Amino acid sequence: RCASTSNRNFEGRQGYRGRTHLVSPAMAAAAAIAGRFVDVREWR
């Protein structure tokens, strides 16, 4: 799975059979730090 802040996605762009989730910049940063998808609203 991939977290992306860009809506310029098309099939195969993020890899073969990849799954892309459109997220905010804050969510992308939180996911990068945590190494997984997290709820950024719970971070303080």
Is 25:3 a contact under the CB 8 Å cutoff?
no
Spatial distance between the Cα atoms of 22 and 44, rounded to a whole number of angstroms: 22
| 4 has pLDDT over 80 | yes
Cα separations in angstroms, 14 against 6, 8, 30, 31, 42: 11, 11, 20, 17, 28
What confidence score (pLDDT) does residue 9 get? 64
* Residue 31 and residue 5 in contact, taking contact as beta carbons nearer than 8 Å: no
36: domain range?
Answer: 2-42
Number of domains in the chain: 1
Question: Residue 43: pLDDT above 80?
Answer: no
Render pLDDT for 8-37 as a digit per residue (tens, 0 to 9).
Answer: 766 767 777 777 888 999 999 999 999 999
